Structure 1
Amino acid sequence: MSVEVGGFFGFILLVLDVWAIISIVQSGASTGAKVFWVVLVLLLPLLGLVIWFLMGPKAL
């Protein structure tokens, strides 16, 4: 059962990371800021997602 739960949460994390990267790329932030956020989310999937959600550039 723990493999099923871990797989489910891993899939949810993957979907959220893809959503975050798409949102970052489509944002009006500078290219450098976009690169920074995308790399952060790719290298630290859970922590990067949380940091981006709390501190990343907000859409207007």
Structure 2
Amino acid sequence: MQLEYVWIGLAVVVLLLELWAINAVLRSTSGWETKGLWLIILIFVPLLGLIAWAMFGPKREMPEQGKH
């Protein structure tokens, strides 16, 4: 396998993750200021933006487990 194909594959994976993160930001219930800030970070700093969004971005609410 040539090294160029590995880089192309990694670029495609990062692009798909970017699109998924942008979609998640747009569908979130946060205010437009927060959404806009995350979109700017994700678009202009793709890899670091993905890492930051994964660490500090909006979290999904976990369903409460039933109490016995």
Q: For residue 37 of structure 1, what is the aligned residue in structure 2? A: 38
Question: Larger relative contact order (C-alpha < 8 A, sep ≥ 6)?
Answer: 1
Higher share of residues assigned helix: 1
Runs of 4+ deviating beyond 3 Å: none
Output the amino acid matched with 1:46.
L
Is 2:44 the counterpart of 1:48?
Answer: no
Q: How many residues align?
A: 60
Quote how far apart the aligned CAs of 1:6 are: 0.2
Q: For residue 66 of structure 2, what is the aligned residue in structure 1? A: none
Q: For residue 10 of structure 1, what is the aligned residue in structure 2? A: 11
Q: What secondary structure sits across from 1:39 in the alignment?
A: helix
Structure whose CA Rg is larger: 2
State the TM-score, normalizing by the size of structure 1. 0.95
Percent of paired sites with the same residue:
30
Distance in 1 (CA, whole Å) between partners of 2:45 and 2:3 is: 23
Q: For residue 25 of structure 1, what is the aligned residue in structure 2? A: 26
